[in-house]
């Protein structure tokens, strides 16, 4: 199997990492998104196999037992997310590098596993209040789900300094530009 590089974007949800990752995918044709498996319901216009592999909890737990995940996490109570080994292999075998949008603990786990081959970037929102506003503004989560996301976000902000780089997202276009430079350097193509 071929071995390539991994670019890990982690942050509390609502910090803007998904937008930054999408921007990078447009800029770098040699990057490919690691589609995670999850047991949550699809949201808005999310598509199966493109945004996530939406699978049942039963299927997820079978895959855990068969050791199909490089890492997995019960990110929210009863809701699992995980990176399939087959996903990373598929991308490397296609001569591309993998980019992840993943929670903070999962991101650090991947960094510990792949060390120098991985660049772990923490996207830092301007403040917890801004993060809360962004999450509420999505209008896609119930009040209970939102509360759960707030509590987790607060905890996740404490992990920032364990990452290779902290990318401040006070202004999205500036953050996207900075991310481009970081990735260009890491991949050696700028
Ligand atoms: P959302 O439900 O908003 O799509 O994702 C919730 C959180 O789970 C986000 O922080 C997202 O980055 C994270 N996440 C997505 N895929 C994975 C994964 O494969 N593993 C882990 N550990 N977290 C993930």
- Between residues 151 and 98, the one the model is more confident about: 98
Q: Which residue has the tokens 């364990």?
A: 162
pLDDT at 137: 81
User: At residue 190, does pLDDT exceed 50?
Assistant: no
Q: Which domain holds residue 58?
A: 6-184
Q: Ligand 1: does its nearest atom lie under 6 Å from the Cβ of 40?
A: yes
Best CA proximity match to 40, nearest among 133, 135, 140: 140
| 189 confidence band (pLDDT: 50, 70, 90) | low
pLDDT one-digit tens code per residue, 42-97 = 998 999 999 999 999 999 999 999 999 999 999 988 999 999 999 999 999 999 99
Distance CA 15, CA 134 (A): 8
Count how many domains the chain has.
1
164 domain-assigned: yes
1 domain-assigned: no
User: What ligand 1 atom has the least distance to the C-alpha of 40?
Assistant: 2
pLDDT one-digit tens code per residue, 82-126 = 999 999 999 999 999 999 999 999 999 999 999 999 999 999 998
Q: Ligand 1: does its nearest atom lie under 6 Å from the Cβ of 51?
A: no
What is the pLDDT averaged over residues 148-155? Answer: 89
Q: What is the CATH number of the domain that holds 93?
A: 3.40.50.300
C-alpha torsion sign, points 74, 101, 164, 146: negative
Q: Ligand 1: does its nearest atom lie under 6 Å from the Cβ of 122?
A: no
Distance CA 72, CA 109 (A): 9
Compute the distance from residue 100 Cα to the ligand 1 centre, in Å.
9
pLDDT one-digit tens code per residue, 132-144 = 888 888 777 788 8
Angstrom CA distances, 144 to 52, 136, 140, stand at 23, 11, 12
Compute the distance from residue 186 Cα to the ligand 1 centre, in Å.
23
Q: Ligand 1: does its nearest atom lie under 6 Å from the Cβ of 107?
A: no
Distance CA 75, CA 162 (A): 19
190 domain-assigned: no
User: In this prediction, what percent of the chain has a pLDDT beyond 90?
Assistant: 76
189 domain-assigned: no
- The 3-state DSSP class for residue 140 equals coil
Distance CA 190, CA 184 (A): 5
147 domain-assigned: yes
62 torsion bin: left (phi>0), alpha (psi -120 to 50), beta (else): alpha
Q: Which residue's CA is minimally distant from atom 15 of ligand 1?
A: 102
Distance CA 52, CA 8 (A): 16
pLDDT at 27: 97
Q: Which residue has the tokens 């830092």?
A: 124
- 29 contacts: CB under 8 Å, gap ≥ 6: none
pLDDT at 136: 85
């Amino acid at each position: 199997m071929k071995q390539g590089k991994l670019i890990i974007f982690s942050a509390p949800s609502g910090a803007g990492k998904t937008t930054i990752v999408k921007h990078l995918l447009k800029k770098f044709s040699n990057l490919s998104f690691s589609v995670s498996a999850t047991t949550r319901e699809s949201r808005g216009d999310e598509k199966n196999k493109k945004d996530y592999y939406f699978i049942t909890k039963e299927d997820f737990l079978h895959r855990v037992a068969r050791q199909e995940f490089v890492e997995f996490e019960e990110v929210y109570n009863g809701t699992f997310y995980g990176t399939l080994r087959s996903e990373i292999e598929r991308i490397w075998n296609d001569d591309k590098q993998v980019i992840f949008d993943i929670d903070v603990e999962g991101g650090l786990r991947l960094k510990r596993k792949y060390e120098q081959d991985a660049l772990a970037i923490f996207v830092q929102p301007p403040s917890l209040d801004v993060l809360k506003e962004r999450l509420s503004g999505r209008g896609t989560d119930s009040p209970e789900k939102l509360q759960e996301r707030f509590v987790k976000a607060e905890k996740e902000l404490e992990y920032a300094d364990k990452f290779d780089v902290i990318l401040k997202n006070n202004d999205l276009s500036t953050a996207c530009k900075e991310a481009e430079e970081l990735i260009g350097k890491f991949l050696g193509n700028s």
